[in-house]
Amino acid sequence: MHICHIVLNNLGGAPKVADSLISSQVKAGYKVSTVVLTILDPRWKVSFKAAQIVIVMKIAGTLFYIGRAIHQIWVAIQLNRIIAEQKPDIIICHSAFITKLFYLSQFIPGSLSIPYISYIHSDYISESQTERTTNPISELINNISISITSRIDLQALQQSNGLVFVCKALYQRFANIGFKHRRIVISYNPAIDDINNQPLHPIAKSWFDNSQLIAFVCASRFHHQKDHKTLLKAFAKVSENHLNIRLILLGDGELETELKALATSLAINNIVLFAGFVSNPRAYFSQSRVVILASHFEGLPLVLVEAVASGVTFIASDCPVGPRDIFEVLKCGTILPPSDVDALAEAIIDHVKTPQQKIDRSEQITQFFSETSCANQLESLIEQVVSQSV
């Protein structure tokens, strides 16, 4: 059997999971190919352990809505050509967006009729509501665009031969808007070990080595979704009475300059480290007091699972999808309302005042978040889909 995975890029959690699934399928003897829709970022070690094809697809936010739609149709045409050359037995689309592109590609005359599974890693519903503008005309056009796009997205998901949701809350989010499907699997993404022994940032290392300091870590890209502003404001509030705390931010992104300016204006730039992108976050997690995630929305934030796998607990916003699932499954951590500076500050203070305890949830992580479990559930779904498509 030839399985083809379609991913957007090699950045973040979804490609990391796809890479794990691809590796498992290759080991199981399947022929596996990978279609990547953007250029691979060389900083990330996700390599996709199978044949790969790259389509350059620059979806710039500056494109006008109509231009963006035309560009996506162009990509769907290119995708159709690639799939025709590959001739796989089944397609795995690693997002609702990619599912839509593949769905559109099937309307091209002469396209192959290939069953496809949509693998939903993120809170697509929240994502689709984030793009806003203050211009009334642009806002109207944007709302119409979102409405049309959402209908196509949901139709593409509905026509899929199977759906994988990475947690129960994500499935429920779709169910709440009336979405139904005959073949649904809920499969937690695997917690994958770091494979890089990159040295710690020297400042971070000095903080970890100082027994008088308490270091907190946040690992997420600098994007509005991750709400670093609330984290920095809460941290500044705590630092007024707790001079021994430090914050290490792992990652990079479009808001880095803005966030550094905010840290300076809050007078915490000397106790907040922007450590940049790192390929071994668990090395930081294991030496931190707590890992913090303040997002407005998530899919299944594996950073929290990886924190617990490293022996520490977490503080996370109780956004619509993700953190609560992990909180309930692993029976540890603190969840609090999103965008609540005071609640986050209080949670940080609780951990400053409480001696650190190492967390051991190895059994639960093996049971719910293992690579084997994730791969087996997808393999079972693939076999069902292919057997009924023959």
Q: Are 320 and 339 in contact (CB under 8 A)?
A: no
Residues 6+ apart with CB under 8 A from 283: 194, 198, 200
- Give me the pLDDT at residue 151, please: 83
Q: What is the CATH number of domain 202-368?
A: 3.40.50.2000
User: Bridge partners of 336?
Assistant: 317
- Give me the pLDDT at residue 60, please: 44
Q: What is the C-alpha to C-alpha distance for residues 121 and 374, in angstroms, rounded to an integer?
A: 13
> Which stretches of the chain score pLDDT less than 50?
59-65, 133-134, 141, 144
- Give me the pLDDT at residue 131, please: 53
Q: Are 271 and 244 in contact (CB under 8 A)?
A: no
Q: Are 293 and 317 in contact (CB under 8 A)?
A: yes
Q: Are 107 and 21 in contact (CB under 8 A)?
A: no
User: Bridge partners of 163?
Assistant: 118, 184
Domain 2-190+370-389 has CATH 1.10.3720.10: no
Work out the mean pLDDT of the chain and round it to a whole number: 88
Q: What is the C-alpha to C-alpha distance for residues 42 and 45, in angstroms, rounded to an integer?
A: 7
Q: What is the C-alpha to C-alpha distance for residues 341 and 331, in angstroms, rounded to an integer?
A: 24
Q: Are 118 and 156 in contact (CB under 8 A)?
A: yes
- Give me the pLDDT at residue 315, please: 98
Q: For the chain, where do the domains classified as CATH 3.40.50.2000 start and end?
A: 2-190+370-389, 202-368
- Give me the pLDDT at residue 54, please: 65
Tell me the one-letter amino acid at 16. Answer: K
pTM: 0.88
Q: What is the C-alpha to C-alpha distance for residues 279 and 47, in angstroms, rounded to an integer?
A: 13
SS3 316: strand
First-last CA distance in the chain? 12
Tokens of 343: 């609640």
